[in-house]
Structure 1
Amino acid sequence: MIRETPRNFLDILRSYVPDPSHPAGTLREEFADFFTEFQSEARPSVEPVLIRGDLRGVWCKVPESRPDRTLLFFHGGDFTVGSTADHLGFCSELARAGQSRLFSVDYRLAPEQVFPAQADDALAAYRYLLKQGVLPHRIIPVGISAGATLVLDLLLMLRDQHLPLPPAAVCMSPVVDLKFGGESITASQDTDWMTPGRLAALRTAYLGGREPDDPLASPINAQLSGLPPVYLQTGTGELLYDDISAFARKMKWAGVPVRFEIWEGMFHYWQIFGRQIPEAGGAVSHIGAFVRDIFDR
Protein backbone atom coordinates (compact mmCIF):
# COMPACT_ATOMS: atom_id res chain seq x y z
CA MET A 1 0.00 0.00 0.00
CA ILE A 2 1.01 3.60 -0.58
CA ARG A 3 1.80 5.34 2.72
CA GLU A 4 -0.18 8.40 1.68
CA THR A 5 -3.46 7.90 -0.13
CA PRO A 6 -2.95 7.51 -3.90
CA ARG A 7 -5.01 10.64 -4.48
CA ASN A 8 -2.93 12.75 -2.12
CA PHE A 9 0.36 11.59 -3.54
CA LEU A 10 -0.84 12.00 -7.12
CA ASP A 11 -1.90 15.54 -6.23
CA ILE A 12 1.64 16.20 -5.02
CA LEU A 13 3.07 14.89 -8.28
CA ARG A 14 0.55 16.86 -10.30
CA SER A 15 1.75 20.02 -8.62
CA TYR A 16 4.85 19.72 -10.81
CA VAL A 17 3.61 21.42 -13.97
CA PRO A 18 6.37 22.52 -16.35
CA ASP A 19 5.90 26.10 -17.56
CA PRO A 20 6.70 26.14 -21.29
CA SER A 21 7.57 29.83 -21.05
CA HIS A 22 10.57 29.01 -18.83
CA PRO A 23 13.99 28.46 -20.44
CA ALA A 24 15.03 24.83 -20.87
CA GLY A 25 17.71 25.17 -18.20
CA THR A 26 15.18 26.43 -15.67
CA LEU A 27 12.78 23.58 -16.44
CA ARG A 28 15.57 21.08 -15.86
CA GLU A 29 16.48 22.64 -12.52
CA GLU A 30 12.83 22.53 -11.45
CA PHE A 31 12.57 18.86 -12.45
CA ALA A 32 15.70 18.02 -10.47
CA ASP A 33 14.57 19.93 -7.38
CA PHE A 34 11.16 18.30 -7.39
CA PHE A 35 11.97 14.66 -8.11
CA THR A 36 15.20 14.25 -6.21
CA GLU A 37 13.47 14.60 -2.83
CA PHE A 38 11.25 11.55 -3.46
CA GLN A 39 14.10 9.12 -4.12
CA SER A 40 16.13 7.05 -1.73
CA GLU A 41 18.57 9.08 0.35
CA ALA A 42 21.31 6.55 -0.47
CA ARG A 43 23.93 7.82 -2.89
CA PRO A 44 26.53 5.82 -4.83
CA SER A 45 30.14 6.76 -5.33
CA VAL A 46 30.40 8.46 -8.72
CA GLU A 47 33.04 8.87 -11.41
CA PRO A 48 32.15 11.09 -14.40
CA VAL A 49 33.70 10.18 -17.74
CA LEU A 50 33.67 11.61 -21.26
CA ILE A 51 32.12 9.25 -23.81
CA ARG A 52 32.62 11.46 -26.85
CA GLY A 53 32.30 15.17 -27.67
CA ASP A 54 29.81 16.59 -25.19
CA LEU A 55 28.31 13.19 -24.32
CA ARG A 56 29.10 12.18 -20.75
CA GLY A 57 28.49 9.21 -18.55
CA VAL A 58 28.81 8.53 -14.84
CA TRP A 59 30.02 5.36 -13.18
CA CYS A 60 27.93 4.72 -10.06
CA LYS A 61 29.04 2.13 -7.53
CA VAL A 62 27.78 0.88 -4.17
CA PRO A 63 29.46 -1.58 -1.77
CA GLU A 64 27.48 -4.45 -3.32
CA SER A 65 28.67 -3.65 -6.87
CA ARG A 66 30.58 -6.36 -8.67
CA PRO A 67 33.08 -5.25 -11.35
CA ASP A 68 31.98 -7.98 -13.77
CA ARG A 69 28.36 -6.75 -13.84
CA THR A 70 27.37 -3.50 -15.56
CA LEU A 71 23.97 -1.87 -15.78
CA LEU A 72 23.82 0.67 -18.62
CA PHE A 73 21.24 3.15 -17.33
CA PHE A 74 19.14 5.71 -19.21
CA HIS A 75 17.17 8.16 -17.05
CA GLY A 76 13.66 9.43 -17.69
CA GLY A 77 12.33 12.94 -18.19
CA ASP A 78 10.24 13.21 -21.38
CA PHE A 79 13.44 13.37 -23.50
CA THR A 80 13.66 17.03 -22.42
CA VAL A 81 14.73 17.02 -18.75
CA GLY A 82 16.51 14.70 -16.35
CA SER A 83 20.11 13.71 -15.72
CA THR A 84 22.25 11.32 -13.75
CA ALA A 85 22.51 13.90 -10.97
CA ASP A 86 18.78 13.93 -10.28
CA HIS A 87 18.48 10.11 -10.45
CA LEU A 88 21.36 9.22 -8.11
CA GLY A 89 19.14 7.82 -5.37
CA PHE A 90 17.45 5.58 -7.92
CA CYS A 91 20.79 4.59 -9.47
CA SER A 92 22.00 3.57 -6.03
CA GLU A 93 18.97 1.34 -5.48
CA LEU A 94 19.30 -0.31 -8.89
CA ALA A 95 23.02 -0.96 -8.41
CA ARG A 96 22.43 -2.43 -4.96
CA ALA A 97 19.54 -4.64 -6.09
CA GLY A 98 21.49 -5.94 -9.06
CA GLN A 99 24.80 -6.20 -7.18
CA SER A 100 26.24 -4.38 -10.18
CA ARG A 101 28.06 -1.22 -11.05
CA LEU A 102 25.95 1.20 -13.04
CA PHE A 103 26.93 3.41 -15.95
CA SER A 104 24.43 6.25 -16.34
CA VAL A 105 24.30 8.20 -19.60
CA ASP A 106 23.61 11.94 -19.77
CA TYR A 107 22.26 11.77 -23.29
CA ARG A 108 21.42 14.93 -25.22
CA LEU A 109 18.03 16.49 -24.58
CA ALA A 110 15.31 18.05 -26.71
CA PRO A 111 14.43 20.61 -27.91
CA GLU A 112 18.09 21.59 -28.43
CA GLN A 113 18.81 18.12 -29.83
CA VAL A 114 15.89 16.22 -31.31
CA PHE A 115 15.29 12.63 -32.38
CA PRO A 116 17.29 10.55 -33.22
CA ALA A 117 20.15 12.22 -31.29
CA GLN A 118 19.16 10.46 -28.07
CA ALA A 119 19.14 7.03 -29.71
CA ASP A 120 22.53 7.77 -31.27
CA ASP A 121 23.85 8.62 -27.80
CA ALA A 122 22.55 5.32 -26.43
CA LEU A 123 24.48 3.45 -29.09
CA ALA A 124 27.60 5.56 -28.49
CA ALA A 125 27.46 4.73 -24.77
CA TYR A 126 27.23 1.00 -25.46
CA ARG A 127 30.13 1.20 -27.91
CA TYR A 128 32.12 3.09 -25.29
CA LEU A 129 31.68 0.28 -22.78
CA LEU A 130 32.81 -2.27 -25.35
CA LYS A 131 35.91 -0.18 -26.12
CA GLN A 132 36.65 -0.08 -22.40
CA GLY A 133 36.80 -3.86 -22.43
CA VAL A 134 33.37 -4.56 -20.95
CA LEU A 135 32.07 -7.74 -22.55
CA PRO A 136 28.59 -7.50 -24.10
CA HIS A 137 27.27 -10.44 -22.11
CA ARG A 138 28.20 -8.54 -18.91
CA ILE A 139 26.06 -5.50 -19.81
CA ILE A 140 22.33 -5.16 -19.15
CA PRO A 141 20.71 -1.93 -20.44
CA VAL A 142 18.14 -0.52 -18.02
CA GLY A 143 15.86 2.47 -18.55
CA ILE A 144 12.81 4.20 -17.15
CA SER A 145 10.18 6.11 -19.15
CA ALA A 146 11.97 7.91 -22.00
CA GLY A 147 15.13 6.09 -20.97
CA ALA A 148 13.36 2.76 -21.40
CA THR A 149 12.50 3.78 -24.96
CA LEU A 150 16.21 4.36 -25.56
CA VAL A 151 16.93 0.85 -24.28
CA LEU A 152 14.59 -0.52 -26.94
CA ASP A 153 16.18 1.73 -29.58
CA LEU A 154 19.60 0.44 -28.56
CA LEU A 155 18.54 -3.19 -28.96
CA LEU A 156 17.06 -2.49 -32.40
CA MET A 157 20.17 -0.67 -33.61
CA LEU A 158 22.53 -3.33 -32.30
CA ARG A 159 20.54 -6.05 -34.04
CA ASP A 160 20.28 -4.15 -37.32
CA GLN A 161 23.98 -3.22 -37.32
CA HIS A 162 24.98 -6.81 -36.48
CA LEU A 163 26.70 -5.73 -33.27
CA PRO A 164 26.89 -7.98 -30.20
CA LEU A 165 23.70 -7.88 -28.20
CA PRO A 166 23.47 -7.83 -24.40
CA PRO A 167 21.99 -10.90 -22.70
CA ALA A 168 18.82 -9.05 -21.62
CA ALA A 169 17.32 -5.62 -21.02
CA VAL A 170 15.05 -3.93 -18.47
CA CYS A 171 12.38 -1.41 -19.47
CA MET A 172 10.29 0.44 -16.90
CA SER A 173 7.22 2.08 -18.46
CA PRO A 174 8.69 2.85 -21.89
CA VAL A 175 7.12 5.27 -24.34
CA VAL A 176 6.48 2.86 -27.22
CA ASP A 177 3.98 4.68 -29.44
CA LEU A 178 4.19 8.45 -29.93
CA LYS A 179 0.73 8.45 -31.47
CA PHE A 180 -0.57 7.63 -27.97
CA GLY A 181 -3.54 5.71 -29.29
CA GLY A 182 -4.31 3.43 -26.35
CA GLU A 183 -7.62 3.89 -24.53
CA SER A 184 -5.80 4.35 -21.22
CA ILE A 185 -4.40 7.67 -22.49
CA THR A 186 -7.77 9.18 -21.68
CA ALA A 187 -9.30 6.53 -19.40
CA SER A 188 -6.52 6.67 -16.78
CA GLN A 189 -6.34 10.42 -16.21
CA ASP A 190 -7.63 9.99 -12.66
CA THR A 191 -4.96 7.42 -11.78
CA ASP A 192 -1.82 9.01 -13.23
CA TRP A 193 -0.02 12.31 -12.79
CA MET A 194 0.95 12.46 -16.45
CA THR A 195 -1.56 14.12 -18.76
CA PRO A 196 -2.40 13.81 -22.46
CA GLY A 197 -1.22 17.40 -22.85
CA ARG A 198 2.20 16.60 -21.43
CA LEU A 199 2.50 13.58 -23.70
CA ALA A 200 1.65 15.73 -26.71
CA ALA A 201 4.26 18.29 -25.65
CA LEU A 202 6.82 15.50 -25.27
CA ARG A 203 6.11 14.32 -28.82
CA THR A 204 6.45 17.81 -30.30
CA ALA A 205 9.70 18.63 -28.51
CA TYR A 206 11.30 15.24 -29.12
CA LEU A 207 10.44 14.72 -32.77
CA GLY A 208 11.19 18.24 -33.98
CA GLY A 209 8.88 17.82 -36.95
CA ARG A 210 9.68 14.20 -37.75
CA GLU A 211 6.97 11.58 -38.11
CA PRO A 212 5.98 9.54 -35.03
CA ASP A 213 5.78 6.34 -37.12
CA ASP A 214 9.57 5.93 -37.24
CA PRO A 215 10.36 2.60 -35.50
CA LEU A 216 13.01 4.21 -33.30
CA ALA A 217 10.58 6.95 -32.24
CA SER A 218 7.77 4.45 -31.71
CA PRO A 219 9.26 0.98 -31.16
CA ILE A 220 5.81 -0.60 -31.45
CA ASN A 221 6.24 -0.08 -35.21
CA ALA A 222 9.56 -1.94 -35.31
CA GLN A 223 10.22 -5.47 -36.49
CA LEU A 224 11.04 -7.05 -33.13
CA SER A 225 12.32 -10.55 -33.82
CA GLY A 226 15.90 -11.31 -32.85
CA LEU A 227 15.95 -9.24 -29.67
CA PRO A 228 17.25 -10.61 -26.35
CA PRO A 229 14.97 -11.20 -23.35
CA VAL A 230 13.22 -8.06 -22.11
CA TYR A 231 11.89 -7.48 -18.61
CA LEU A 232 9.03 -4.99 -18.93
CA GLN A 233 7.22 -3.22 -16.09
CA THR A 234 4.06 -1.12 -16.20
CA GLY A 235 1.33 -0.03 -13.80
CA THR A 236 -2.41 -0.34 -14.37
CA GLY A 237 -2.86 3.33 -13.45
CA GLU A 238 -0.59 4.61 -16.21
CA LEU A 239 -1.79 6.55 -19.22
CA LEU A 240 0.67 4.42 -21.21
CA TYR A 241 -0.69 1.10 -19.89
CA ASP A 242 -2.56 0.06 -23.05
CA ASP A 243 0.30 1.05 -25.36
CA ILE A 244 2.83 -0.88 -23.26
CA SER A 245 0.53 -3.91 -23.06
CA ALA A 246 0.12 -3.93 -26.84
CA PHE A 247 3.88 -3.71 -27.22
CA ALA A 248 4.40 -6.66 -24.87
CA ARG A 249 2.00 -8.73 -26.95
CA LYS A 250 3.82 -7.78 -30.15
CA MET A 251 7.16 -8.80 -28.65
CA LYS A 252 5.75 -12.18 -27.66
CA TRP A 253 4.30 -12.69 -31.15
CA ALA A 254 7.74 -11.88 -32.58
CA GLY A 255 9.32 -14.57 -30.43
CA VAL A 256 11.08 -12.24 -28.01
CA PRO A 257 11.32 -13.73 -24.51
CA VAL A 258 9.33 -11.23 -22.43
CA ARG A 259 8.76 -11.02 -18.71
CA PHE A 260 5.82 -8.63 -18.54
CA GLU A 261 5.12 -7.46 -15.00
CA ILE A 262 1.97 -5.47 -14.26
CA TRP A 263 1.70 -3.55 -10.99
CA GLU A 264 -1.87 -2.94 -9.85
CA GLY A 265 -2.73 0.72 -9.34
CA MET A 266 0.74 2.07 -10.06
CA PHE A 267 1.21 5.23 -12.08
CA HIS A 268 3.98 6.43 -14.37
CA TYR A 269 7.51 6.57 -12.92
CA TRP A 270 6.43 4.99 -9.63
CA GLN A 271 9.67 3.02 -9.37
CA ILE A 272 11.72 6.09 -8.36
CA PHE A 273 9.51 7.14 -5.45
CA GLY A 274 11.28 4.91 -2.95
CA ARG A 275 10.70 7.22 0.03
CA GLN A 276 6.91 7.26 -0.37
CA ILE A 277 5.78 4.04 -2.04
CA PRO A 278 6.63 0.51 -0.87
CA GLU A 279 5.82 -0.72 -4.38
CA ALA A 280 8.79 1.27 -5.66
CA GLY A 281 11.16 -0.82 -3.59
CA GLY A 282 9.33 -3.95 -4.64
CA ALA A 283 9.70 -3.12 -8.32
CA VAL A 284 13.42 -2.45 -7.94
CA SER A 285 13.82 -5.66 -5.93
CA HIS A 286 12.22 -7.64 -8.76
CA ILE A 287 14.52 -5.98 -11.29
CA GLY A 288 17.51 -6.84 -9.14
CA ALA A 289 16.49 -10.50 -8.98
CA PHE A 290 16.12 -10.57 -12.77
CA VAL A 291 19.51 -8.93 -13.29
CA ARG A 292 21.28 -11.26 -10.89
CA ASP A 293 19.70 -14.29 -12.51
CA ILE A 294 20.86 -13.20 -15.97
CA PHE A 295 24.41 -12.47 -14.82
CA ASP A 296 24.62 -15.74 -12.89
CA ARG A 297 23.89 -17.87 -15.93
Structure 2
Amino acid sequence: MSREQREAIRRLRASSPLDLGGAVHEQRILFEQLLAHHPVPDDVIVTEVRYDTVTGLLVELAEEPGVGTVLYFHGGAYVLGSARSSLGIVADLARRSRTRVSTIDYRLAPEHPAPAAIDDAVRAYRGLIASGVDPQQVVVAGESAGGGVALGLLAALSSSGEPMPAAALLFSPWVDLTLSGDSMTARAEADFIVSRTALERRVRDYVGDTSTSERHSPLFADLRGLPATLIQVGSDEVLLDDSTRLAARLVAADVSVTLDVTAQATHVFQAFAASWDEADAAMTRAATFVHTALKP
Protein backbone atom coordinates (compact mmCIF):
# COMPACT_ATOMS: atom_id res chain seq x y z
CA MET A 1 0.00 0.00 0.00
CA SER A 2 1.39 3.35 -0.96
CA ARG A 3 1.34 6.28 1.43
CA GLU A 4 -0.73 8.17 -1.14
CA GLN A 5 -3.41 5.46 -1.19
CA ARG A 6 -3.66 5.37 2.58
CA GLU A 7 -3.80 9.13 2.91
CA ALA A 8 -6.50 9.37 0.24
CA ILE A 9 -8.69 7.02 2.29
CA ARG A 10 -7.92 8.95 5.46
CA ARG A 11 -8.89 12.26 3.80
CA LEU A 12 -12.10 10.72 2.48
CA ARG A 13 -13.06 9.60 5.98
CA ALA A 14 -12.05 12.92 7.56
CA SER A 15 -14.19 14.88 5.10
CA SER A 16 -17.25 12.73 5.71
CA PRO A 17 -19.92 13.95 8.17
CA LEU A 18 -20.64 10.33 9.13
CA ASP A 19 -20.33 9.72 12.88
CA LEU A 20 -20.71 6.05 13.78
CA GLY A 21 -21.69 7.05 17.30
CA GLY A 22 -24.06 9.86 16.29
CA ALA A 23 -27.83 10.11 16.36
CA VAL A 24 -29.20 7.02 14.63
CA HIS A 25 -31.76 8.55 12.28
CA GLU A 26 -29.34 11.21 11.01
CA GLN A 27 -26.49 8.77 10.58
CA ARG A 28 -28.60 6.27 8.67
CA ILE A 29 -29.15 8.84 5.93
CA LEU A 30 -25.46 9.78 5.84
CA PHE A 31 -24.38 6.13 5.83
CA GLU A 32 -26.51 5.38 2.78
CA GLN A 33 -25.28 8.52 1.01
CA LEU A 34 -21.64 7.69 1.75
CA LEU A 35 -21.89 4.21 0.30
CA ALA A 36 -24.03 5.25 -2.66
CA HIS A 37 -20.93 6.47 -4.51
CA HIS A 38 -19.99 2.83 -5.17
CA PRO A 39 -21.74 2.23 -8.51
CA VAL A 40 -23.14 -1.18 -9.41
CA PRO A 41 -21.29 -2.51 -12.48
CA ASP A 42 -23.20 -2.92 -15.72
CA ASP A 43 -22.45 -6.64 -15.87
CA VAL A 44 -24.47 -7.51 -12.75
CA ILE A 45 -28.22 -7.71 -12.21
CA VAL A 46 -29.86 -6.69 -8.93
CA THR A 47 -33.31 -8.01 -8.04
CA GLU A 48 -35.38 -8.07 -4.88
CA VAL A 49 -35.65 -11.37 -2.99
CA ARG A 50 -37.60 -12.63 0.00
CA TYR A 51 -36.74 -15.53 2.28
CA ASP A 52 -39.66 -16.22 4.60
CA THR A 53 -40.37 -12.76 6.07
CA VAL A 54 -36.90 -11.38 5.40
CA THR A 55 -36.17 -9.27 2.32
CA GLY A 56 -32.95 -8.54 0.53
CA LEU A 57 -31.28 -8.04 -2.82
CA LEU A 58 -29.91 -10.72 -5.12
CA VAL A 59 -26.81 -9.80 -7.12
CA GLU A 60 -26.09 -11.97 -10.16
CA LEU A 61 -23.79 -11.85 -13.15
CA ALA A 62 -25.66 -10.75 -16.25
CA GLU A 63 -24.04 -13.14 -18.70
CA GLU A 64 -23.62 -16.35 -16.72
CA PRO A 65 -25.32 -18.16 -13.83
CA GLY A 66 -23.22 -17.98 -10.72
CA VAL A 67 -22.13 -21.13 -8.91
CA GLY A 68 -23.73 -21.37 -5.47
CA THR A 69 -25.03 -18.59 -3.24
CA VAL A 70 -23.39 -16.25 -0.77
CA LEU A 71 -25.78 -15.16 2.00
CA TYR A 72 -24.40 -11.75 2.96
CA PHE A 73 -25.02 -9.49 5.98
CA HIS A 74 -24.15 -5.79 5.73
CA GLY A 75 -22.29 -3.72 8.31
CA GLY A 76 -23.39 -0.66 10.25
CA ALA A 77 -22.82 -1.36 13.97
CA TYR A 78 -26.20 -3.14 14.25
CA VAL A 79 -28.05 0.18 13.80
CA LEU A 80 -27.09 1.46 10.32
CA GLY A 81 -26.92 0.13 6.79
CA SER A 82 -29.05 -1.92 4.45
CA ALA A 83 -28.82 -4.50 1.73
CA ARG A 84 -28.59 -1.64 -0.75
CA SER A 85 -25.74 0.08 1.09
CA SER A 86 -23.67 -3.11 0.74
CA LEU A 87 -24.10 -3.40 -3.04
CA GLY A 88 -20.60 -2.06 -3.82
CA ILE A 89 -18.68 -4.74 -1.95
CA VAL A 90 -21.29 -7.41 -2.72
CA ALA A 91 -21.16 -6.80 -6.48
CA ASP A 92 -17.36 -6.95 -6.35
CA LEU A 93 -17.48 -10.26 -4.50
CA ALA A 94 -20.05 -11.68 -6.94
CA ARG A 95 -17.99 -10.74 -9.98
CA ARG A 96 -14.70 -12.07 -8.63
CA SER A 97 -16.11 -15.33 -7.25
CA ARG A 98 -18.58 -15.90 -10.15
CA THR A 99 -21.26 -16.50 -7.52
CA ARG A 100 -24.76 -15.27 -6.75
CA VAL A 101 -24.87 -13.08 -3.63
CA SER A 102 -28.00 -12.36 -1.60
CA THR A 103 -27.52 -9.41 0.76
CA ILE A 104 -30.05 -9.33 3.59
CA ASP A 105 -32.06 -6.52 5.22
CA TYR A 106 -32.09 -7.71 8.81
CA ARG A 107 -33.88 -5.60 11.42
CA LEU A 108 -31.88 -2.83 13.07
CA ALA A 109 -31.56 -1.56 16.63
CA PRO A 110 -32.63 0.35 18.64
CA GLU A 111 -36.11 -0.25 17.22
CA HIS A 112 -35.38 -3.97 17.09
CA PRO A 113 -32.77 -4.87 19.73
CA ALA A 114 -30.92 -8.16 20.09
CA PRO A 115 -31.50 -10.87 19.09
CA ALA A 116 -33.67 -9.55 16.22
CA ALA A 117 -30.75 -9.42 13.75
CA ILE A 118 -29.71 -13.01 14.46
CA ASP A 119 -33.34 -14.19 14.33
CA ASP A 120 -33.68 -12.63 10.88
CA ALA A 121 -30.43 -14.24 9.74
CA VAL A 122 -31.67 -17.67 10.83
CA ARG A 123 -35.02 -17.08 9.13
CA ALA A 124 -33.33 -15.97 5.91
CA TYR A 125 -31.03 -19.00 5.87
CA ARG A 126 -33.88 -21.41 6.52
CA GLY A 127 -35.93 -19.72 3.80
CA LEU A 128 -33.06 -20.02 1.33
CA ILE A 129 -32.63 -23.73 2.06
CA ALA A 130 -36.40 -24.30 1.93
CA SER A 131 -36.38 -22.86 -1.60
CA GLY A 132 -34.35 -25.88 -2.69
CA VAL A 133 -30.78 -24.61 -2.31
CA ASP A 134 -28.28 -27.22 -1.08
CA PRO A 135 -26.60 -25.99 2.16
CA GLN A 136 -23.27 -27.14 0.73
CA GLN A 137 -23.77 -24.64 -2.07
CA VAL A 138 -24.05 -21.73 0.38
CA VAL A 139 -21.38 -19.51 1.93
CA VAL A 140 -22.41 -17.26 4.82
CA ALA A 141 -20.61 -13.90 4.82
CA GLY A 142 -20.68 -10.50 6.47
CA GLU A 143 -18.78 -7.33 7.22
CA SER A 144 -18.30 -5.67 10.62
CA ALA A 145 -21.55 -6.09 12.59
CA GLY A 146 -22.75 -8.21 9.68
CA GLY A 147 -19.85 -10.52 10.43
CA GLY A 148 -21.23 -10.81 13.95
CA VAL A 149 -24.67 -11.57 12.55
CA ALA A 150 -23.17 -14.26 10.28
CA LEU A 151 -21.31 -15.85 13.20
CA GLY A 152 -24.42 -15.68 15.37
CA LEU A 153 -26.35 -17.45 12.61
CA LEU A 154 -23.77 -20.24 12.45
CA ALA A 155 -23.77 -20.69 16.23
CA ALA A 156 -27.58 -20.90 16.19
CA LEU A 157 -27.53 -23.52 13.42
CA SER A 158 -24.96 -25.56 15.31
CA SER A 159 -26.98 -25.38 18.51
CA SER A 160 -30.14 -26.61 16.79
CA GLY A 161 -28.38 -29.28 14.74
CA GLU A 162 -29.37 -27.82 11.37
CA PRO A 163 -27.39 -28.32 8.14
CA MET A 164 -24.36 -26.06 7.93
CA PRO A 165 -23.31 -24.01 4.90
CA ALA A 166 -20.14 -24.89 3.04
CA ALA A 167 -18.07 -22.05 4.50
CA ALA A 168 -18.04 -18.63 6.16
CA LEU A 169 -16.33 -15.40 5.08
CA LEU A 170 -15.98 -12.59 7.62
CA PHE A 171 -14.65 -9.10 6.87
CA SER A 172 -13.51 -7.26 10.03
CA PRO A 173 -16.19 -8.96 12.13
CA TRP A 174 -17.51 -7.27 15.28
CA VAL A 175 -18.21 -10.26 17.52
CA ASP A 176 -17.40 -9.03 21.05
CA LEU A 177 -19.99 -6.58 22.37
CA THR A 178 -18.14 -6.37 25.71
CA LEU A 179 -15.37 -4.46 23.85
CA SER A 180 -12.78 -6.31 25.89
CA GLY A 181 -10.08 -6.72 23.24
CA ASP A 182 -6.71 -5.06 23.91
CA SER A 183 -6.79 -3.55 20.41
CA MET A 184 -9.62 -1.27 21.59
CA THR A 185 -6.90 0.88 23.15
CA ALA A 186 -3.73 -0.36 21.43
CA ARG A 187 -5.04 0.49 17.92
CA ALA A 188 -7.15 3.52 18.85
CA GLU A 189 -4.76 6.06 17.33
CA ALA A 190 -4.29 4.12 14.10
CA ASP A 191 -7.98 3.41 13.42
CA PHE A 192 -9.56 6.41 11.70
CA ILE A 193 -12.76 4.54 10.82
CA VAL A 194 -14.09 3.15 14.14
CA SER A 195 -13.73 4.29 17.77
CA ARG A 196 -14.50 2.66 21.09
CA THR A 197 -16.74 5.59 22.06
CA ALA A 198 -18.93 5.05 19.00
CA LEU A 199 -19.10 1.30 19.60
CA GLU A 200 -20.12 1.80 23.23
CA ARG A 201 -23.17 3.80 22.15
CA ARG A 202 -24.14 1.23 19.55
CA VAL A 203 -23.84 -1.59 22.10
CA ARG A 204 -26.36 0.20 24.30
CA ASP A 205 -28.69 0.53 21.31
CA TYR A 206 -28.35 -3.14 20.41
CA VAL A 207 -28.46 -4.93 23.76
CA GLY A 208 -30.09 -2.32 26.00
CA ASP A 209 -28.85 -3.60 29.35
CA THR A 210 -25.06 -3.81 28.86
CA SER A 211 -24.87 -6.55 31.49
CA THR A 212 -26.12 -8.85 28.71
CA SER A 213 -23.36 -7.87 26.26
CA GLU A 214 -21.44 -11.11 26.68
CA ARG A 215 -24.57 -13.23 26.18
CA HIS A 216 -25.22 -11.47 22.87
CA SER A 217 -21.58 -11.66 21.72
CA PRO A 218 -21.12 -14.52 19.21
CA LEU A 219 -17.41 -14.62 20.10
CA PHE A 220 -18.35 -16.40 23.32
CA ALA A 221 -20.85 -18.85 21.78
CA ASP A 222 -20.24 -22.56 21.35
CA LEU A 223 -18.40 -22.64 18.02
CA ARG A 224 -18.09 -26.40 17.59
CA GLY A 225 -19.27 -27.78 14.28
CA LEU A 226 -18.88 -24.56 12.29
CA PRO A 227 -17.74 -24.72 8.65
CA ALA A 228 -14.37 -23.65 7.30
CA THR A 229 -13.96 -19.92 7.89
CA LEU A 230 -11.87 -17.14 6.37
CA ILE A 231 -11.44 -14.03 8.52
CA GLN A 232 -9.95 -10.90 6.96
CA VAL A 233 -8.98 -7.92 9.11
CA GLY A 234 -6.61 -4.95 9.06
CA SER A 235 -3.85 -4.50 11.64
CA ASP A 236 -4.91 -0.89 12.30
CA GLU A 237 -8.40 -1.77 13.56
CA VAL A 238 -9.68 -1.37 17.10
CA LEU A 239 -11.61 -4.56 16.29
CA LEU A 240 -8.43 -6.47 15.42
CA ASP A 241 -8.64 -8.58 18.57
CA ASP A 242 -12.20 -9.61 17.74
CA SER A 243 -10.72 -11.42 14.75
CA THR A 244 -7.61 -12.81 16.41
CA ARG A 245 -9.53 -14.15 19.40
CA LEU A 246 -12.26 -15.55 17.15
CA ALA A 247 -9.63 -17.41 15.13
CA ALA A 248 -8.17 -18.84 18.35
CA ARG A 249 -11.59 -19.95 19.59
CA LEU A 250 -12.36 -21.59 16.25
CA VAL A 251 -9.07 -23.48 16.41
CA ALA A 252 -9.94 -24.64 19.94
CA ALA A 253 -13.33 -25.81 18.60
CA ASP A 254 -11.60 -27.87 15.85
CA VAL A 255 -12.86 -25.60 13.07
CA SER A 256 -10.73 -25.01 9.99
CA VAL A 257 -9.92 -21.29 9.99
CA THR A 258 -7.69 -18.91 8.06
CA LEU A 259 -6.84 -15.57 9.68
CA ASP A 260 -5.81 -13.10 6.97
CA VAL A 261 -4.34 -9.89 8.46
CA THR A 262 -3.34 -7.03 6.18
CA ALA A 263 -0.76 -4.66 7.69
CA GLN A 264 -1.80 -1.03 8.22
CA ALA A 265 -5.25 -1.67 6.78
CA THR A 266 -8.42 -0.18 8.24
CA HIS A 267 -11.93 -1.42 8.97
CA VAL A 268 -13.55 -3.30 6.04
CA PHE A 269 -10.75 -2.07 3.79
CA GLN A 270 -11.92 -4.47 1.07
CA ALA A 271 -14.54 -1.86 0.16
CA PHE A 272 -11.68 0.24 -1.27
CA ALA A 273 -10.51 -2.48 -3.68
CA ALA A 274 -10.82 -0.15 -6.66
CA SER A 275 -8.21 2.25 -5.29
CA TRP A 276 -6.17 0.33 -2.70
CA ASP A 277 -3.74 -2.38 -3.82
CA GLU A 278 -3.94 -4.48 -0.67
CA ALA A 279 -7.72 -4.27 -0.64
CA ASP A 280 -7.80 -5.50 -4.24
CA ALA A 281 -5.56 -8.43 -3.34
CA ALA A 282 -7.63 -9.26 -0.25
CA MET A 283 -10.86 -9.32 -2.27
CA THR A 284 -9.24 -11.67 -4.76
CA ARG A 285 -8.25 -14.03 -1.92
CA ALA A 286 -11.76 -13.84 -0.47
CA ALA A 287 -13.34 -14.58 -3.85
CA THR A 288 -11.01 -17.54 -4.39
CA PHE A 289 -12.01 -18.91 -0.99
CA VAL A 290 -15.72 -18.62 -1.87
CA HIS A 291 -15.31 -20.09 -5.34
CA THR A 292 -13.31 -23.04 -3.99
CA ALA A 293 -15.87 -23.73 -1.24
CA LEU A 294 -18.73 -23.76 -3.77
CA LYS A 295 -17.16 -25.76 -6.60
CA PRO A 296 -19.57 -28.57 -7.58
TM-score by length of 2: 0.92
How many Å separate the matches in 1 of 2:263 and 2:169?
A: 19
How many Å separate the matches in 2 of 1:50 and 1:71?
A: 15
Partner of 1:82: 81
**CA offset at residue 132 of structure 1?**
1.1
Residue 199 of structure 2 aligns to which amino acid in structure 1?
Answer: L
Q: Is the 8 A contact 1:3 1:277 kept in 2?
A: no
**CA offset at residue 284 of structure 1?**
1.2
How many Å separate the matches in 2 of 1:179 and 1:104?
A: 27
Q: Is the 8 A contact 2:51 2:128 kept in 1?
A: no
Partner of 1:155: 154
Q: Is the 8 A contact 1:65 1:95 kept in 2?
A: no
**Residues 75-123 of structure 1, C-alpha deviation per residue, up to 9 Å, x if partnerless?**
1111111112122121111101111111110111111111100000001
List gaps (5 residues or longer) in structure 1.
none
How many Å separate the matches in 1 of 2:113 and 2:275?
A: 33
**CA offset at residue 131 of structure 1?**
1.4
Number of equivalenced pairs: 292
How many Å separate the matches in 1 of 2:173 and 2:276?
A: 20
Q: Is the 8 A contact 1:2 1:279 kept in 2?
A: no
How many Å separate the matches in 2 of 1:104 and 1:170?
A: 13
Partner of 2:213: 212
Q: Is the 8 A contact 2:73 2:143 kept in 1?
A: yes
Q: Is the 8 A contact 2:144 2:172 kept in 1?
A: yes
Q: Is the 8 A contact 2:190 2:237 kept in 1?
A: yes
Identical aligned residues as a percent: 32
**CA offset at residue 280 of structure 1?**
2.0
Partner of 1:34: 34
List gaps (5 residues or longer) in structure 2.
none
Q: Is the 8 A contact 1:144 1:269 kept in 2?
A: yes
TM-score by length of 1: 0.91
In the superposition, relative to structure 1, how do residues 73 and 21 fare at CA in structure 2: closer, same or farther (>3 Å)?
closer
3-state DSSP of counterpart to 1:166: coil
Partner of 1:93: 92
How many Å separate the matches in 2 of 1:108 and 1:213?
A: 20
Partner of 1:6: 6
Partner of 2:51: 51
How many Å separate the matches in 1 of 2:96 and 2:156?
A: 28
Partner of 2:261: 262
**CA offset at residue 236 of structure 1?**
0.5
3-state DSSP of counterpart to 2:237: coil
**CA offset at residue 11 of structure 1?**
4.0
Q: Is the 8 A contact 2:21 2:202 kept in 1?
A: no
Q: Is the 8 A contact 2:78 2:145 kept in 1?
A: yes
Residue 186 of structure 1 aligns to which amino acid in structure 2?
Answer: T
